[in-house]
Amino acid sequence: MDGAFASSSHANHTEAAIVRALRASGDMTLSLVAEIAGTVVGHIAFFAGRHRCAHGDWFGLGPLAVDPVYQGQGAGSALVSHGLADLHTNGAAGCVVLGDPRFYGRFGFMSDGALRYGDLPTRYIQRIVFAGGAPSGEIHYAPAFDLAG
């Protein structure tokens, strides 16, 4: 799925390596692929976060990628929607994502400015709450994301 990030202006082309590292380290909680006419065209990963509360565990979304040839046909949205539904059904308290609010906002992700990730502008640090209160403070990603440099 490396090609999905090739045309992205913000991607740093290590996403495929991050997926492999998440899998190897056992941090990947959920991995889904999207198929169109029998061809795998996209992938999404979810990983366990460090934040736990009385209402359940928190998870992170990423990386998400759809082959450029098949973008704009709903695969990315289907991956996010199905992944979030799976987390919700299995008792997650919520999920955090770093990404474009114009894309992730449609699924219910939002930023209230209370989460931080280094000096990344807080509008890109979004969360969706399934149960309990909204989290605050610094986000700690799985070690596999250290590959993102």
Ligand X SMILES: CC(C)(COP(=O)(O)OP(=O)(O)OC[C@H]1O[C@@H](n2cnc3c(N)ncnc32)[C@H](O)[C@@H]1OP(=O)(O)O)[C@@H](O)C(=O)NCCC(=O)NCCS
- 4 contacts ligand X (rule: CB under 6 A): yes
Q: What share of the chain is helix, strand, coil (3-state, %, to 5)?
A: 35, 35, 35
- Chosen residue from 16, 32, 55, 73 binding ligand X by CB under 6 A: 73
CB of 60 or CB of 135, closer to ligand X: 60
Nearer to ligand X, 55 or 103 (CB): 103
CA–CA dist 141, 149 (Å, integer) = 12
9 in contact with ligand X (CB under 6 A): no
The residues in 75-134 that bind ligand X, with binding defined as CB under 6 A, are 75-77, 99-100, 102-103
Question: Where in the chain does DSSP place strands (E)?
Answer: 28-36, 39-53, 56-66, 94-98, 115-116, 125-129, 137-138
Nearer to ligand X, 56 or 103 (CB): 103
Cis peptide before 121 (omega within 30 of 0): no
Report the amino acid identity of residue 147.
L
Find tokens 């590292």 and name the residue: 21
Candidate ranges 25-33, 49-57, 71-79, 113-121; the one touching ligand X (CB under 6 A): 71-79
Which one of residues 37, 38, 54, 72 is an interface residue with ligand X (CB under 6 A)? Answer: 72
- Judged by the rule CB under 6 A, the positions of this chain that interact with ligand X are 4-5, 8, 11, 64-66, 71-77, 99-100, 102-103
